[in-house]
Amino acid sequence: MTQVPQNLKYTDDHEWVRAEADGSVVVGITDHAQHALGELVYVELPDAGRKVARGDAMAVVESTKAASDVYAPLAGEVIEGNPALASQPELVNTDPYGEGWLLRLRPDDAAALAGLKDSAAYSQLLAAEG
């Protein structure tokens, strides 16, 4: 059964977003997404300082089979990528909501977070996609 933690926000493209106390957000891909992609062998992350608009392709996750874009869930500036993924891309598979986080962003507008799906709405999306 795919996990959808209640404390996170979600996008239609299967990214998750977690608000941090300092106003930044942490972004990753969902359990559903990592399962659909298969075992990851390479993750390409943006450099710190890069500005992204909502929906920009900002990272790439590659399985043995294919490369897939990860889109910015919010407009903002990249603070850091997860340094552990350079040598252990498989963390995205084994712990998508924890050690397998992709990057931290400073959103241009903190209120934009409210526009993302909550866990109930994302679970409905998964159910609808079958």
Partner 1 sequence: MAHQTPLYADHVANDARIVEFGGWDMPLQYASALAEHHAVRRSCGIFDVSHMTVVDLSGPDSLRFLMRLLANDPGKLKMAGQGLYSCMLNDAGGVVDDLIVYRLGDNLYRIIINAATRVQDLGWMARVADRDDVVIRHRDDFLMIAVQGPAARQLAAPLLAAELQAPALALRPFECVRHDHVFVARTGYTGEDGFEIVLPIEPGIALWRALAAAGAVRCGLGARDTLRLEAALNLYGQDMDAGTSPLVSGLAWTVAFEPADREFRGRAALEKQIADGVTEKLTGLVLEDRGIMRHGQRVITAAGEGSITSGGFSPTMERSIALARLPVAATGSCEVDIRGVLRKARIVKPPFVRHGRVLVADAPVGK
Under the binding rule (CB under 8 A), the answer on residue 38 touching partner 1 is yes
Asked whether the beta carbons of 17 and 48 are under 8 A apart, the reply is no
Tell me how far apart the alpha carbons of residues 5 and 7 are, in angstroms, rounded to a whole number: 6
Under the binding rule (CB under 8 A), the answer on residue 126 touching partner 1 is no
End-to-end CA distance of the chain: 13
Judged by beta carbon, residue 86 or residue 121, the one nearer partner 1 is 86
Under the binding rule (CB under 8 A), the answer on residue 62 touching partner 1 is yes
Under the binding rule (CB under 8 A), the answer on residue 2 touching partner 1 is no
Under the binding rule (CB under 8 A), the answer on residue 42 touching partner 1 is yes
Under the binding rule (CB under 8 A), the answer on residue 77 touching partner 1 is no
Under the binding rule (CB under 8 A), the answer on residue 67 touching partner 1 is yes
- Cβ burial 11-43 (10 Å sphere, 16+ → b, else e): beebbbbbeeeeebbbbbbbbbbbeebeebeeb
Sites of contact with partner 1 (CB under 8 A): 38-39, 41-42, 44, 60, 62, 64-67, 86-87
